[in-house]
Amino acid sequence: MEVTVIEDGVDLAKKIIFGHSFNIGWLLKSLRENDLAYKKLHGNRGVKNVTASNVSAGKGFLSTVLRCTVTFVDTLDIYTTILKIPVMEIFPKGDNEKLKLSFIDCHKSECDFYNKLAPILDIPVPKVYKTVEWILDKQEGCVHMEDLTLRGKCLVFYENINLTQVKCMIRHLAHMHKNVFSADPNIWKGEYLKRSKGLFDALDMFNASVDGFLEKCNHKQDFLPMITKYHKLCRNTDFYLYTFQQAHKDLKMPSVIVHGDMHPGNIMWSLDENGDVQNDLAALVDWHLMHEGSPMSDLAQFLVLCCDGIVRRQAETFAIEYYFKCLVKEFGGDASKVPYTIEQLKKAYNYAYLTRALYIIGVMEYFVPGIEAHITDESIKAAFYESGALRSLHALQDADKLLQGELNDLFVKFSL
């Protein structure tokens, strides 16, 4: 039976937000065709207006995230939905075709994840209603998804998590990895190797931001000896590719699907009825760096970027064993089905840790806008920045211990 839609009272050709190509008519068509909740609640209602606010400030640097609010001609109800539009604004001025194409490919990876892999992996992710391919200089890309902001919240980069949240994330990673191993390998194996270099194409950009970080930091003299010692190593692309892409394979460990961008802005924690953050995971978002890689890659990045040095070091005393225990449980208690040992996992974690810890300073500078956008009190802002600096210092100190001890062969091979 055909449903009669009350005439919309808004200009459907009007752009949702200045500077982007998607208009109100496109958004309403996607909602009415693809969003079951919208169809059930408002499918035959005429729309009065659609407004959008940018909710991405400080939570990432590759996309504009718009929270779109729909109002109706015959009711005071509202409906909200999310548009994620990849952007190039953070990149250095000039024609860097390779870098641009690399991040266009990131958008394709995210679209592939939501369209093909999300149902198989069975982990908390937003419902996605429509994806649009990004074509350089021809067509803007987009992911249209549900609004999770009423039941989940991302932390600002410089905020900290607790050990209960660490365990929650480990359980979800084990569940995802078990589902990867149980899935038909023809669906994913060998299909997502292109992004297995991570942010390789942006390393020069991150390395170049170190000086800016040091000028704002109260611990410059603590950082300088390590930065000087590992200057050559951090710029050695062979080192980056080995630790990020190859090391786990040399340990005879099968690859899994990796999220690849486990920073606080991509992790939504559940909210209670008062809007306070809880210890349960609401969703993992932003799968644009999804690829095949080490089973320890996401865990290492999560601990380096989401925990201060105290919580990370505490977590590292149990994280590997707990992950293994969770994976055995996922396989119904049959440890023989787990395709790697605890010893392999510990070694793979150390390799993955180096890749994340040595570049943390360069990454940190790109999350400074999160402080500027969310914090107005200068003393609180300074405390957040100090916390981030100490997080980086502790991460580098532990990387230094590895490179002067257990993994000294890497330092010798790629630095001297």
Q: Could you state, in order of their start, the residue ranges of all structural domains in the chain? A: 1-146, 150-415
Crossing angle of helices 297-306 and 319-330, in 10° steps, is: 130
How far, in whole angstroms, is CA 302 from its chain's centroid?
9
Q: What is the pLDDT of residue 1?
A: 45
Q: Which residues contact 214 (CB under 8 A, 6 or more apart)?
A: 220, 223, 224, 227, 361
DSSP for 138-206, please give it: TB--EEEEE--TTTEEEPPTT----HHHHHHHHHHHHHHHHHHHHS-HHHHTTTS-GGGGTTGGGHHHH
- Token pair for residue 335? 């440890």
pLDDT per residue of the chain (416 residues) written in tens, 0 to 9 = 455 667 899 999 999 887 789 999 999 999 999 999 999 999 889 999 999 998 876 444 578 899 999 999 999 999 999 999 988 665 555 556 777 787 888 899 899 999 999 999 999 999 999 999 999 889 999 999 999 988 999 988 778 999 999 999 999 999 999 999 999 999 898 888 766 666 666 677 667 778 777 887 889 899 999 999 998 898 888 999 999 999 999 999 999 999 999 999 899 999 999 999 999 999 999 998 899 999 999 999 999 999 999 999 999 999 999 999 999 999 999 999 999 999 999 999 999 999 899 888 877 776 766 666 677 888 988 888 888 889 999 999 999 999 999 999 999 999 87
d(CA 384, CA 366): 15
Q: What is the pLDDT of residue 58?
A: 47
d(CA 81, CA 69): 7
Q: What is the pLDDT of residue 235?
A: 86
Q: What is the pLDDT of residue 173?
A: 98
The one-letter amino acid at 347 = K
Range 150-415 has CATH code 3.30.470: no
Q: Which residues contact 284 (CB under 8 A, 6 or more apart)?
A: 123, 124, 125, 172, 259, 266, 267, 268
DSSP percent split of the chain into helix, strand, coil, nearest 5: 50, 15, 35
Helix (H) or strand (E) holding 257: strand 256-258
pTM of structure: 0.91
